[in-house]
A and B are shown apart, each in its own frame.
Chain A
Amino acid sequence: GQQVQQSPASLVLQEGENAELQCNFSSTATRLQWFYQHPGGRLVSLFYNPSGTKHTGRLTSTTVTNERRSSLHISSSQTTDSGTYFCAGTNAYKVIFGKGTHLHVLP
């Protein structure tokens, strides 16, 4: 089965609303990372978060390793947050990506 599963597949928000993106990963996909990709842009690492909670700006990542889940919280969303957010786990050295959550923030 899929080693990394993300939900929702897509999300539309009004600017200012909060977003919660979910990631579930198998026991073979550890060392969670979150990436962001602007349409047509490169993948940019947001968090390397194998466990616990990390913050940067309006973003918070929480990984509960023994429950094999991670979340990405975006507070007070802005139109510039629009794009695709990927969760990825590492199987040995191989980084396996989920299908992504496509976020669209409306002005």
Chain B
Amino acid sequence: NAGVIQTPRHKVTGKGQEATLWCEPISGHSAVFWYRQTIVQGLEFLTYFRNQAPIDDSGMPKERFSAQMPNQSHSTLKIQSTQPQDSAVYLCASSSHWGTETLYFGSGTRLTVL
């Protein structure tokens, strides 16, 4: 088991460009989360999928961020018109049962917006 896989590890975009981040959860895990980590804000919840269905996106900046889970083996986080304040480490995590048990995190994608 390779754990939660996130790609790319690093991404640099220019202001206004689009960024797509990928996550492959652990096989068989039904809950998938996206978090954003910065030094100032710490770990912020973005969105949550259960059995591929979007359950809660209350942490997502509404206008430019979107997340999808087209199948049980991957999820994407898309940021349109990236801004410097979007620079952060984006973390994907999965758990085996509806988010009530231990979370397993990927290594994250470090996004830098110039």
In the complex, the answer to whether B98 meets A48 with C-beta atoms within 8 Å is no
Number of interchain pairs (Cβ within 8 Å): 49
A12 interface residue, CB < 8 Å from B? no
Knowing that A35-B103, A90-B100, A94-B45 touch, tell me 12 more A-B residue pairs with CB under 8 angstroms: A33-B102, A41-B107, A42-B91, A42-B105, A42-B108, A44-B105, A93-B99, A94-B56, A95-B93, A95-B103, A97-B35, A97-B43
- Please name all residues of chain A whose beta carbon is closer than 8 Å to the beta carbon of B55 when the two chains form the complex: 93
- Please name all residues of chain B whose beta carbon is closer than 8 Å to the beta carbon of A35 when the two chains form the complex: 103, 105
Report how many residues on chain B are interfacial, defined by Cβ distance under 8 Å. Answer: 23
How far is A41 from B110 in the complex, measured between Cα atoms in Å? 11
Q: Is the interface of B mostly helix, strand, loop or mixed?
A: strand
CB distance from B33 to the nearest CB of A (A): 7
**For chain A, which range describes its interface: under 10, 10 to 19, 20 to 34, or 35 or more residues?**
20 to 34
Known contacts A41-B107, A42-B105, A42-B107: does B99 contact A90 (CB below 8 Å)? yes
How far is A100 from B43 in the complex, measured between Cα atoms in Å? 9
Nearest 3 interchain pairs by C-beta: A93-B99, A97-B43, A43-B105
The interface of chain A, by Cβ under 8 A from chain B, is 31, 33, 35, 41-45, 48, 86, 88, 90, 93-100
CB distance from A88 to the nearest CB of B (A): 8
Residue of B with least CB distance to A98: B42
Choose from B43, B56, B105 the contact partner of A93 (Cβ within 8 Å). B56
